[in-house]
Amino acid sequence: MAESIEIGKHITQQWLAEIESLKQQLAEKQQQCDAAWENAEKWRKLYNTEAEQRRTDADLSRQTIASLKTEIQKLKGIDGSTLPNATTVATIRQEVAQIKTVEDLKAKLIAVIQERDRLLNALKTEQDNHTQTRKNLTTALGDAIDSLAKARGGTGGSGE
């Protein structure tokens, strides 16, 4: 009977050790599950943040496209007959139709702005040159009038 008690005690200890081992495994699995849940939550937040940024970018792009379309409509009021060397409306429409992405639109807008700036600089230079020429001509005309007055005054004074 002592032997059967000893065997029962040994089996009970094995069961208790097995139960402790299972409790420890369960706790480890629970920690792994919690860590995986936290990681999934972190990725969900990152995804939502990225998705919100994409939506914001898309909205801004739509607004930019809408404002550029409005600007194009305003510019369409200028036809080829207004500006003799201007590109025809059909050609402009063809160029606009080739713009497929926001990046294409941005590139075209940058090119147009650069061309506008170049033309503004050329206009400014031309205006400055015109102003300088006008000053030079006014000065030359004034000098000619003074010379003529002196010539008349000199002849008229000796004849009187």
Does 49 share its domain with 61? yes
Does 49 share its domain with 67? yes
How many domains are there within the chain?
Answer: 2
How far the first Cα of the chain sits from its last, in Å, is 169
At residue 52, the pLDDT reads: 93
Domain boundary among 98, 126, 141: 98
Express each pLDDT in 7-62 by its tens digit.
888 889 999 999 999 999 999 999 999 999 999 999 999 999 999 999 999 999 99
Amino acid at 122: A
Average of per-residue pLDDT across 117-137:
92
Return the HEC string of 81-149.
Answer: CCCCCCCCHHHHHHHHHHCCCHHHHHHHHHHHHHHHHHHHHHHHHHHHHHHHHHHHHHHHHHHHHHHHH
Does 39 share its domain with 72? yes
Does 25 share its domain with 66? yes
Distance CA 49, CA 7 (A): 62
Does 13 share its domain with 84? yes
Does 91 share its domain with 122? no
- Show the tokens assigned to 114: 């650069």
Cα dihedral value 23, 26, 27, 29, nearest 10: 160
At residue 79, the pLDDT reads: 44
Residue 133 has pLDDT above 70, yes or no: yes
> What range defines the domain where residue 81 resides?
1-98
Residue 69 has pLDDT above 50, yes or no: yes
Does 94 share its domain with 112? no
At residue 160, the pLDDT reads: 42
Express each pLDDT in 88-113 by its tens digit.
777 888 888 888 898 988 888 898 99
Average of per-residue pLDDT across 104-133:
91
Does 83 share its domain with 153? no
Express each pLDDT in 71-91 by its tens digit.
888 777 654 445 544 557 778
At residue 138, the pLDDT reads: 92
Domain boundary among 50, 73, 98: 98
More confident residue, 137 or 82: 137
Considering Cα of 75, then 77, then 81, then 83, what sign does the dihedral take? negative
